[in-house]
Structure 1
Amino acid sequence: MGSGLDNIFDREQERFVAEWMEFLRFASIGADPAHHADCADCATWLKDHLTAMGLQAEMLETPGLPAVYAEHHVGPSAPTILFYGHYDVQPVDPVEDWTTPPFEPALRDGRLYARGAQDDKGQLFSFLKAVEALLAAGCLDLNLKILIEGEEESGSRGLSAILNTSHERLAADILMVADTGTVPDGTPTIVMGLRGLLHLAVTLRGPSHDLHSGLHGGLALNPVTELTRLLATLFAPDGSIAVDEFYDGIRNPTALEHALVQKTPFDPAAYEKSVGMPPVAGEAEYTPHERLGFRPALDINGIRGGNADSMKTVIPTTATARLTVRLAAGQDPDHCLAAICDHLKAHAPEAMALTIHDAGSAGAGFRIDPESAPVQLAHDVLAELANCEPVYHWEGASIPIIPALAEAAGAAPLLVGFGHEDDHVHAPNESYSVEQFRRGFEYAVHFLRTAPQADLTRN
C-alpha cells in the first residue's frame, strides 16, 4: 500500500477488534422503544469515536432516533464520497437460541458473534477503520461525508424526514454503502440493484363472536378459510402475481445486464441444501437470479386466526395476514399497493368485513448502470485485491432509504459488502469473521486512495 499503510491491519488488528466489540455491546435495537436509550448512547459513542479519528462529527436530530454525521474536507476540486451505514440492529428473539448473549461479543474460531456483528456494525466499522488509517497516514485526498442512522431496520423514518432539507450537506459524487454481501462462494461482489418494499395487513371479520364449529359449521363462513381463499387469488398457477396492473412500469434488463447476470453463479443443489427446499417459487420462465434481481415477489409473512396450539373447535371471529411485496425497478410503490388493495376488495366475500391496514411503502427498487465510473473503479479495485473477476449481482433484498438518499445527495449509489449467508444476519448467533472485516478494510483503503485519480462523474 505504501505511505505507512503496509501491513497496517495486522499491526492494528487487536485494537480494531477490541473497538468493534465495544461498539457491539450497545443493545441498539431501534425498533424497540425499550432500547431507545441504548441507541442514543450508541450514537454518542459513534460521534465521539469519529471525532477522535480526526473528523468533524455531530449528532443529527430527527423526528426519530438520532443520526451521526461526520466529514473530512479537502477542497472543491476533489471528488466527494458519502458513506452510509446504520448503527441499529435487529431484535434478538429467540434469545434462548444464542450460544452466547447477543450483546456480549464472543470471538470463536476467527468469528465475532453478537447481534450486529455483520449487519451493519461490522461492515460499517471496517470502513471507519480504513478511514482512520488513511487519515493517520495523510492519504485521504478526497472529501468524505459519513452518515450513520439508527432506524434502517425499522424503515428509516427519522432520516427520511430530514432528507429534503439536507441536499447541500449530503451532496456527493458517490454514495458508498457497505451493507450487502458476496455470492455464496465468496467471490467479491458488486450489488447492482435492490428491490423496493411495500407492506400491508389484511383482516377479515366474520361472526360477532367465536362460534361452536359443530353448531355453526356449514352455515357461518369461517374467516380463516375465507382469508386463505382470498390470498390464493393473488397468485396464478404459473407463479406470477394475478393482480391487474401489478407489473406496470417494470424495467426489463438491458442486453448488458442480461449478459452479466448469466455469469453470476447459482447452484440449485447448494440452494436446496442451504434453505431446505428447491428454488421453484416465482415465474418459471425466468432464471433464479432474474427472479431475484429483475422481477417482483409477493409473500405472505404470517397468518393469525383461531387457535392452532390445541384442539379448540371454533369458527373464529377474525383472521389476519401480513404481506410484503418486493418491487422491481420501475414499479411505482403507490400504484402497486393500490392495485393489490383493489384486487383484495374485489375478491373478498360479501358476507365479511375486509380491512386493509398497516399499509405503506418503504421505498422503490433501483438498478445501477454497470458501465458507470464508480462501478468500474470498484471492479478494478476488487479484481486487484482478490486476483479474480468480481461478480455483478442484482439482489432481491431491500435497503429502502438508498434511492431517496441517492437522490438527495445527487450521488450514484455503489454497494459493495462482504457479508455471507453463514453470518446468520437477523437470526440467532449472528457473526462476522475477522477475515471478512479485513477484506472490507482493504477494499475501502484501496478504493478511497484510488478515487481521487478517477473521473467519478462519468456515468
Structure 2
Amino acid sequence: MNRNKGTWEELFEVNRERFIEEWKTFLRFPSIGADPAHHPDCAVCAEWLTAHLAAMGLQAELLATPGQPAVFAEHCGADGAPTVLLYGHYDVQPVEPVDAWTSPPFEPELRNGRLYARGAEDNKGQTFAVLKAVESLLARDALKINLKIIIEGEEESSSRGLAAKLDEWRDRLAADILMVADTGTLNDGTPTIIMGLRGLIHLAVTLRGPSHDLHSGLHGGVALNPISELARLLATLFDEEGRIAVEGFYDGIREPSAVERALIEATPFDPAAYEKSVGMPPIAGEQAFTPLERLGFRPALDINGIHGGDPNSMKTVIPSTATARMTARLAADQDPDRCLTALCDHLCRHTPDAMSLTISEAGSAGRAFRIDPNGPPVKLAQGVLRELFHCEPICHWEGASIPIIPALAAASGAAPLLVGFGHEDDCIHAPDESFSIDQFRNVYLYAANLLVAAAQTSTKKTPAHDASRTD
C-alpha cells in the first residue's frame, strides 16, 4: 500500500495553477527541432529547462551534441537504491497549416479543461508532468531512489544528436529503469503499458519523364505522365491481400511469444469505436492478422505524401517529375538496412524503361523493440496503476516509433518502461494539439507513485538489457 497516494493528490491540487502557468511558459518556446530557423529557439528552451530543473533542486547541466543541446539532471546518492533514468524531449513538430489552429500554436490557451498548444501533449506536457512529480517528491524528501534525467531536442527528427553521444555518455546514463512518458492509453483512458514499438525507415522517390513540362493537349496519350506512372509504381508495393509485395521484406520477423499472444488476445479492441475516432474502419494491411496484431507485430508501408505538377491551379500540363515520400514501420528483428535495400531495389526494378528514378532522403531511424511482459519494471508499473486507477492496466504493442529508445536502453543498461496518458483526440502532430488538465494530473500521480514504489523494489542492479528481445 502506498501511504503517500493521498499526499500527491493533495499536492497537485495545491500547486495546480502554478503547474499550469509553468507548463504554459515551457510551451511558449517554438522549439521546432527539425527547422533550422528555430534552432535558436531550441537552445533558449533548453537553457530555460536546465535552469528550471536546477531551481527544483537537481544538479542540472546543458550538454552539447552534434545537433540540438540535451538537458541532463540528476539527484543521486541513495546507496544501494535503484536508478531511474527519465527520458523526454523538448522539441516539437512543425505547426503547418497555421490557419487551421483555433488559437496560435505557441500561445497556450486553456479551453474546456484542455490546454491547447504545439507540444501540449507531445512531449512537453507529459514530460513536464513527470518533472512536477519529481519536484513534489523532493519537497517532501520522498525521492529515495537515484534519479537521472535526459531531455533531448531532436526526437521528432530521429534523435541524431543524442544518438551520437550515447557511447560517450554510457557511465553518465547508467540506470536500472528507463522511464518514458511519451505514449498514450488505449480505450480513452485505461492505463496502458507499451510493450513494444516498431522500427522505422524512410525515403523519397522522384520519377522523371520528359525534359520539361509538356502541353497535355499536344502530348497527352503519347508522352508518359510521371504522376500516372508514379501511381502505378507505388501500386506494385502491395498485393491484393494487403501484404507488402517487396521480395524479402518479411524475412526475419520475430513471431509473438505465447505470453505476448495471450496478452494481445485479451486486449479489447472495438472496430466501430476506431472508425468513429479516425473516420475509417481498420481494414488496411494484412487481413490474416487482427488490427492489434498488425499494429504490434507486423510491418507497415505508407505513402506519406505525393507531389507533381501545380496543385494550386488547373494547369493543363504533363509534369516532368513526380515525387512521393514514404515510410515503413518495421517489426521486431527486421533489419532496417536490409529492408531499405529491398524496397529501393523493388522500386528500381519496376520503374518504366523510358523514365528515371531518383531515390533520396533514404535512411533508418531505428529498430523495433519489445519488452519482457514478466520483467520487474512492468510488474512494478502494473501494481502502481492498479492501485491508482482501480482497474487492470492494458499491455499494448504500439505501432509507432521512438527511435532513440532501444539505443538509449542499450547504452544505459536500463530496462525500458513506457507509460503515458495521451489520447487520440489530443491531435499530436496536427493543428489544435492539446492535453487535458486531468491527463496532466494522471501523469503526475503515476510518476510520483512509481518513483516511490521503485525505492521499495530489489536494489540489485538490473543486468545490461537487450531492448530488442524478450526471450
TM-score class normalised by the smaller sequence: over 0.9
Q: How many Å apart are 1:293 and its aligned residue?
A: 0.6
What does 1:425-436 align with in structure 2 at a 5 Å threshold? 425-436=428-439
Match of 1:322 among 307, 320, 325: 325
In 2, distance between residues paired with 1:352 and 1:401? 38
| One of 96, 107, 114 as aligned partner of 2:117 | 114
1:147 and 2:150 are equivalent in the alignment: yes
Q: 2:44 aligns with which of 18, 36, 41?
A: 41
Over residues 8-47 of structure 1, what are the superposed CA-to-partner deviations in whole Å (9 max), with x where a residue is unaligned?
Answer: 1111111111111111111111111221111111101110
2:91 corresponds to 1:88: yes
User: Cα offset for 1:215?
Assistant: 2.4
User: Which of these residues, 260, 264, 271, is aligned with residue 263 of structure 2?
Assistant: 260
- Provide the residue aligned with 2:186 in structure 1: 183
What amino acid does structure 1 have at the position aligned with 2:292? H
The AA in structure 2 aligned to 1:441 is Y
Structure 2 distance, partners of 1:432, 1:131, is: 20
SS in 1 for 2:48: helix
**Residue 277 in structure 1 maps to residue 280 in structure 2:** yes
The answer to whether residue 360 in structure 2 is matched with residue 357 in structure 1 is: yes
| Residue ranges of structure 2 left out of the alignment (5+ in a row) | 466-471
Q: Deviations over 1:292-325 (max 9, x none)?
A: 0100000111111123433332221111111100
Q: Which of 19, 22, 42 is the aligned partner of 2:22? A: 19
Matched, 1:413 2:416: yes
Paired residue for 2:100? Answer: 97
Show the counterpart of 1:390. 393
Report the residue type matching 2:31 in the other structure: S
Deviations 1:427-448 (A, max 9, x none): 1111111111111111111110
C-alpha deviations, 1:123-181, integer Å up to 9, x for none?
00110011111111111111110000011111111111111211111111111100001
Q: CA contact under 8 A between 1:114 and 1:429: conserved in structure 2?
A: yes
Q: Secondary structure at the match of 1:356?
A: strand
- Measure, in 2, the Cα distance between the counterparts of 1:79 and 1:13: 30
Instruction: Write out per-residue CA displacement over residues 161-211 of structure 1, whole angstroms, 9 at most, x where no aligned residue.
Output: 111211111111111100001003310000111111110011111111112
**1:125 counterpart (119, 124, 128):** 128
Whichever residue aligns with residue 63 of structure 2, its letter is: L
Q: TM-score, normalised by structure 2?
A: 0.95
Is residue 223 from structure 1 mapped to residue 229 from structure 2 by the alignment?
Answer: no
For the pair 1:288 / 2:291, whether they are aligned, the reply is yes
Query: Relative to structure 1, is the Cα distance of residues 281 and 170 closer, same or farther in structure 2, using a 3 angstrom cutoff?
Result: same
> In 2, distance between residues paired with 1:177 and 1:346?
42
Q: 1:418: how far off? A: 0.6
- For residue 6 of structure 1, report the CA deviation from its aligned partner: 6.0
Residues 323-352 of structure 1: CA deviation (Å, up to 9, x unaligned) = 100111111100000000111111111111
Deviates more, 1:354-363 or 1:107-116: 107-116
Alpha-carbon distance in 2 for matches of 1:91, 1:313? 32
Contact 1:74 1:141 in 2 (8 A): no
Residue number in structure 1 paired with 2:137: 134
CA contact (8 A) 2:9 2:445 kept: no
Per the alignment, residue 424 of structure 1 pairs with 427
Report how far residue 76 of structure 1 moved: 4.3
SS at match of 1:175: strand
Over the aligned positions, Cα root-mean-square deviation in angstroms equals 1.4
Q: Structure 1 residues 184, 352: closer, same or farther in 2, change over 3 A?
A: same
Task: Give distance in 2, aligned partners of 1:180 and 1:328.
Answer: 18
Determine if contact 2:97/2:431 at 8 Å carries over to the other structure: yes
Structure 2 distance, partners of 1:301, 1:156, is 20
Please give the secondary structure, in 2, of the residue aligned with 1:436: helix
Over 3 Å counting, the alpha-carbon distance change for 1:103 and 1:82 in structure 2 is same
Structure 1 runs of 4+ aligned residues shifted over 6 Å read none
CA shift, 1:454, in A, is 1.2
For 1:210, the equivalent position in structure 2 comes to 213
Which range moved further: 155-164 or 143-152? 155-164
Question: 1: CA distance between counterparts of 2:209 and 2:9?
Answer: 70
* Alpha-carbon distance in 2 for matches of 1:311, 1:95: 25
Cα displacement (A) at 1:219: 2.5
Gaps (5+ residues) in structure 1? Answer: none
Q: Deviations over 1:407-433 (max 9, x none)?
A: 111111110001111111111111111
Task: Give the structure-1-normalised TM-score.
Answer: 0.97
**Aligned match of 2:60:** 57
User: What are the Cα deviations for residues 246-271 of structure 1, in whole angstroms up to 9, with x where unaligned?
Assistant: 01111111111111111222111111
Q: Do the aligned partners of residues 6 and 266 (structure 1) sit closer, same or farther apart at CA in structure 2, a change above 3 Å counting?
A: closer
CA distance in 2, matches of 1:434, 1:277: 29
The answer to whether the 8 Å contact 1:279/1:288 transfers is yes
How many residues are aligned here?
459
**Structure 1 pair 424–361 and aligned structure 2 pair: CA distance change class (3 A):** same
Separation in 1, partners of 2:93, 2:58: 28
Greater mean alpha carbon deviation, residues 150-159 or residues 207-216 = 207-216
1:400 correspondence with 2:375: no
Name the CA distance, whole Å, in 1 between partners of 2:188 and 2:155.
Answer: 27
Rounded Cα–Cα distance in structure 1 between residues aligned with 2:44 and 2:151: 14
By how many angstroms is 1:5 displaced? 4.6
Tell me if the contact between 2:8 and 2:445 (Cα under 8 Å) persists in the aligned partners.
Answer: no
Contact kept in structure 2, 1:85 and 1:178, CA below 8 Å:
yes
Measure how far apart 1:68 and its partner are.
0.2
Does the CA-based 8 Å contact 1:304-1:320 persist in structure 2?
Answer: yes
One-letter identity of the residue aligned with 1:37? P
- Tell me how far apart the structure 2 counterparts of residues 231 and 113 of structure 1 sit (CA, whole Å): 37
Secondary structure of the residue aligned to 2:166 is helix
Q: Could you tell me which residue of structure 2 aligns to residue 160 of structure 1?
A: 163
Q: Distance in 1 between matches of 2:130 and 2:312?
A: 47
Q: CA deviation at 1:74?
A: 2.1
1:378 partnered with 2:378: no
Give the CA deviation at 1:243. 0.5
2:457 to 448, 454, 458: 454
- Determine the C-alpha separation between the residues in 1 that align with 2:8 and 2:305: 50
